[in-house]
């Protein structure tokens, strides 16, 4: 009886990995299936579970720079950050698409955004060995923080690129290309702004080595001024050295 229950679970895991492989190897086919509405719930479930697992693994790597508690905290908070950003920004993309004449359903739009998030999660996980390398070879907290900001920017940019391709394939011929470009550019900045602000709100993910473990920090400042301050500290460090 137990073996019979384990087989469907193993089959689902295999199917989930097959969905990820299809996105990476044959995205045109994958987006055509989204356009035709082929097994959207199954695809969305596979992408959701896979991205949660990948984000959690990378979050654990980030938090391991500080302590076990920070690793566990970041493993939980990183998937929450991306998925919360998805739910905040998905209605905006859908209604602006409708405004410009697109015929995709809300489910199709969520599936496209989940594709972008899944690609981001896969790329983050692929960067994990590089992150671990610098974790072991440098003790400069500000450098490590900026390195991960760059990694997130690269991974997120590739995810948005997949979203751009997907919307081009899923959109009907009647949809205006110019309108779609405007929508995606606006939504990309909105997504980045909401995501960075949410990351700042539920920080820390790495944890400063000079501070005790904190689940959340007090609100104050913002993400962008903190990044500029980190650049300034690194620049001063290299001049002194």
Residue 219 per-residue DSSP state: -
Q: Is the pLDDT of residue 93 over 90?
A: no
Q: Is the pLDDT of residue 206 over 70?
A: yes
What pLDDT, in 10s, does the model give residues 13-55? 666 678 888 898 899 999 999 989 888 999 999 999 999 999 9
Report how many domains make up the chain: 1
Q: So what's the pLDDT on residue 67?
A: 85
* Residues 103/37, Cβ–Cβ less than 8 Å: no
* Residues 89/81, Cβ–Cβ less than 8 Å: no
Q: So what's the pLDDT on residue 118?
A: 95
> Domain of 47?
2-240
What pLDDT, in 10s, does the model give residues 140-181? 888 888 899 999 999 999 998 898 888 888 876 555 555 667
What pLDDT, in 10s, does the model give residues 59-84? 999 998 888 899 999 999 999 999 99
* Residues 143/76, Cβ–Cβ less than 8 Å: no
Alpha-carbon distance of 205 to 60, in angstroms, equals 9
Name the CA dihedral angle for 36, 39, 45, 50, rounded to a multiple of 10 degrees. Answer: -70
Higher pLDDT: 99 or 7? It is 99
């Amino acid at each position: 009886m137990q073996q019979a229950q384990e087989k469907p679970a193993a089959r689902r895991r295999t199917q989930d990995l097959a969905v990820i492989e299809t996105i990476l190897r044959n995205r045109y086919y994958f987006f055509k299936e989204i356009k035709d509405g082929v097994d959207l719930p199954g695809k969305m479930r596979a992408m959701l579970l896979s991205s949660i697992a990948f984000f959690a693994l990378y979050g654990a790597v980030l938090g391991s720079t500080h302590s076990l508690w920070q690793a566990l905290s970041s493993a939980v908070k990183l998937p929450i950050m991306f998925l919360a950003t998805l739910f905040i920004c998905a209605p905006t993309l859908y209604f602006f698409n409708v405004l410009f004449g697109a015929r995709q359903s809300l489910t199709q739009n969520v599936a496209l955004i989940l594709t972008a998030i899944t690609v981001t999660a896969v790329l983050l996980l692929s960067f994990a060995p590089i992150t671990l390398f610098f974790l072991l070879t440098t003790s400069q907290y500000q450098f490590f923080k900026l390195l991960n900001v760059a990694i997130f920017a690269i991974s997120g940019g590739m995810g948005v690129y997949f979203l751009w391709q997907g919307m081009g394939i899923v959109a009907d011929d009647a949809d205006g290309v110019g309108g779609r470009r405007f929508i995606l550019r606006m939504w990309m900045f909105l997504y980045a702004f909401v995501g960075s602000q949410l990351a700042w709100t539920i920080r820390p993910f790495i944890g400063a080595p000079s501070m005790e473990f904190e689940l959340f920090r007090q609100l104050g400042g913002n993400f962008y001024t903190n990044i500029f301050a980190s650049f300034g500290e690194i620049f001063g460090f290299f001049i002194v050295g």
